[in-house]
Structure 1
Amino acid sequence: MLGADGPREDQSIRVGERGLARAELLERAAGVAAEIAGAGAVAVHATASVETVVAVVGGLLAGVPVVPLPPDSGPDERAHILGDSGAGLLLAARGAYEPVKGEPPLVPVDELGRGGPVKDEAPGDATALILYTSGTTGAPKGVLVSRSAIAAGLDALAAAWEWTPDDVLVHGLPLFHVHGLVLGVLGALRVGSPLVHTGRPKAEAYAAAAQADGGSLFFGVPTVWSRVCAEPEAARALRGARLLVSGSAPLPVPVFERLADLTGHRPVERYGMTETLITVSARAGGERRPGYVGLPLPGVETRLAAEDGGPVPADGETPGELQLRAPMLFGGYLNRPEATAASFTADGWFRTGDIATIGPDGWHRIVGRASTDLIKSGGYRIGAGEVENALLAHPAVREAAVVGTPHPDLGEQVTAYVVAGTGADERTLIDFVAERLSAHKRPRTVHLVEALPRNAMGKVVKTRLGG
Structure 2
Amino acid sequence: MTSLFPALTNAPANRPALRFGDRSLTYAELATATGLLAGSLGDAGRVAVWATPTLETAVAVVAAMRAGVPAVPLNPKSGEKELGHILSDSAPSLVLATPGDELPAAIRDLPRIDVTPDTTATATATSPAEETATDDDPALVVYTSGTTGPPKGAVISRRAIASTLDALADAWQWTGEDVLVHGLPLFHVHGLVLGILGPLRRGGSVRHLGRFSTQGVTRELSEGATMLFGVPTMYHRIAQSLAEEPELAKALGRARLLVSGSAALPVHDHERITAATGRRVIERYGMTETLMNTSVRADGEARAGTVGVPLPGVDLRLVEEDGAPITSYDGETVGEIQVRGPNLFTEYLNRPDATAAAFTADGWFRTGDMAVRESDGYVRIVGRKATDLIKSGGYKIGAGEIENALLEHPGVREAAVTGEPDADLGERIVAWIVPADPQSPPTAEELADHVARRLAPHKRPRVVHHLDALPRNDMGKIMKRSLSHD
Q: TM-score range by the shorter chain?
A: 0.7 to 0.9
Within a 5 Å distance, the mapping from 1:166-205 to structure 2 comes to: 166-205=177-216
Give the Cα–Cα distance (whole angstroms) in 1 for the partners of residues 279 and 117 of structure 2.
43
What is the TM-score of this pair, normalised by structure 2? 0.77
Is residue 107 of structure 1 aligned with residue 113 of structure 2? yes
Assess if the C-alpha contact under 8 Å between 2:147 and 2:388 holds in 1: no
Task: State the superposition RMSD in angstroms.
Answer: 2.9
Task: Give 1:27's aligned amino acid.
Answer: T
Q: CA deviation at 1:460?
A: 8.6
TM-score, length-scaled by structure 1: 0.80
Q: Please, which runs of 5 or more residues in structure 2 have no aligned partner? A: 392-398, 400-417, 425-443, 466-486
What aligned pairs does 1:214-233 form with structure 2 within 5 A after superposition? 214-232=224-242, 233=245
TM-fit CA distance, 1:136: 4.0
Q: Deviating runs (4+, > 4 A) in structure 1?
A: 111-114, 414-420, 458-466
Of 310, 313, 333 in structure 1, the residue corresponding to residue 348 of structure 2 is 333
Q: 1:368-383 residue pairs with structure 2 within 5 A?
A: 368-372=383-387
Count of residues in correspondence between the two structures: 399
Whether the 8 Å contact between 1:37 and 1:62 is mirrored in structure 2 is yes
RCO higher in structure (CA 8 A, sep ≥6): 2
Equivalent residues of 1:29, 1:114 under 8 A apart: no
Shifted more, 174-183 versus 15-24: the winner is: 15-24
Structure 1 residues 459 and 304: CA distance shift in structure 2, 3 A: farther
Unaligned 5+ segments in structure 1 are 375-383, 386-402, 404-413, 421-448
Q: C-alpha displacement at 1:247, in angstroms?
A: 0.4
**Structure 1 CA distance for aligned equivalents of residues 10 and 69 of structure 2:** 25
| Structure 1 residue matching 2:258: 3-state secondary structure | strand
One-letter code aligned to 1:32? L
Match of 2:408 in 1: none
Q: Cα 1:2–1:139, aligned 2, differ >3 Å: closer, same or farther?
A: same
Q: 1: CA distance between counterparts of 2:420 and 2:57?
A: 39
User: Which residues of 2 match residues 394-433 of structure 1 at below 5 A?
Assistant: 417=421
| Residues 1:418 and 1:23: Cα distance change in structure 2 (over 3 Å) | closer
Q: For the residues of structure 1 that align with 2:289 and 2:423, how far apart are their CA atoms? A: 32
Is 2:166 aligned against 1:155?
yes
Task: Indicate the residue corresponding to 2:430 in structure 1.
Answer: none
Distance 1:343 1:70, change over 3 A: same
- The answer as to whether partners of 2:56 and 2:117 remain within 8 angstroms in 1 is no
Bigger Cα displacement from structure 2, 95-104 vs 338-347: 95-104
What do residues 105-163 of structure 1 show as CA deviations (whole Å, max 9, x unaligned)?
A: 11111287763222322111100000000344221100000001100000000110001
Is the aligned partner of 1:63 residue 2:73?
Answer: no
What letter corresponds to residue 274 of structure 2 in structure 1? Answer: A
CA distance in 2 between partners of 1:460 and 1:359 (Å): 34
Counterparts of 2:138 and 2:316, CA distance in 1: 25
Q: Provide the rounded CA distance (Å) in 1 between the counterparts of 2:330 and 2:34.
A: 50
Matched, 1:318 2:316: no
Q: Does the CA contact (< 8 Å) of 1:372 and 1:462 recur in 2?
A: no
Measured after TM superposition, the shift of residue 200 of structure 1 is 1.2
- Distance in 2, matches of 1:418 and 1:20, equals 39
Q: Which deviates more from structure 2 when the two are superposed, residues 182-191 or residues 76-85?
A: 76-85
- The aligned residue for residue 84 of structure 1 is 89
